[in-house]
Amino acid sequence: MNNLQKLLSLAREAAARAYCPYSHFAVGAAIESTDGKFYSGCNVENVSYPVGTCAEAGAIAAMIAGGSKKIANILIYAPSQTLITPCGACRQRIAEFAVPETVIYLAQTDGIDKSCTVGELLPSSFSEF
Ligand code: THU
């Protein structure tokens, strides 16, 4: 299994464990860090809706807790026919741990549909103050 297939498989497994009783929309995210480790996360909703967290946030938290510092590749998966892209907040979250050239793979039921870069999804991002 190559690294991209591994990311897809991890994101699929995470999405299958998503806690999404309110939206019924499962999302999984998987990261390969620059030190060659793999992490994943799923969305975790809450009865107080804004408290819910996205799959990307879970995967980034797992990466940081696991001791890795930077995203080399990230894949976002939803078991849907429609392609999903990271929400605005998650674009900013990803940018914090990536470079503009970092690749984001977008996948749905049929597999990986598209790839783009962090810079394409969040141009001119806020980075320093
Ligand atoms: N969601 C994610 O996990 N990642 C995204 O980038 C977009 C949306 C989740 C949040 C919520 O649990 C569900 O998808 C529906 O919006």
For residue 123, give the 3-state DSSP assignment: coil
How far is the centre of ligand 1, averaged over its atoms, from the C-alpha of 78 (Å)?
Answer: 9
**CA-wise closest residue to 7 among 48, 56, 69, 80:** 56
Give domain limits for the chain. Answer: 3-128
Catalytic residues: 56
Q: Name the residue at shortest CA distance from atom 6 of ligand 1.
A: 86
| Topology classification of domain 3-128 | Cytidine Deaminase; domain 2 (3.40.140)
For residue 73, give the 3-state DSSP assignment: strand
How far is the centre of ligand 1, averaged over its atoms, from the C-alpha of 54 (Å)?
Answer: 5
Amino acid at 96: E
Instruction: Decide: 29 in ligand 1 pocket, CB within 6 A.
Output: no
Q: What are the tens digits of pLDDT across the range 29-80?
A: 999 999 999 999 999 999 999 999 999 999 999 999 999 999 999 999 999 9
Per-residue confidence at 1, pLDDT binned at 50, 70, 90? confident
Instruction: Decide: 23 in ligand 1 pocket, CB within 6 A.
Output: yes
pTM of the model as a whole: 0.96
Mean of pLDDT values over 73-91: 95
78 contacts 15 by C-beta, under 8 angstroms: yes
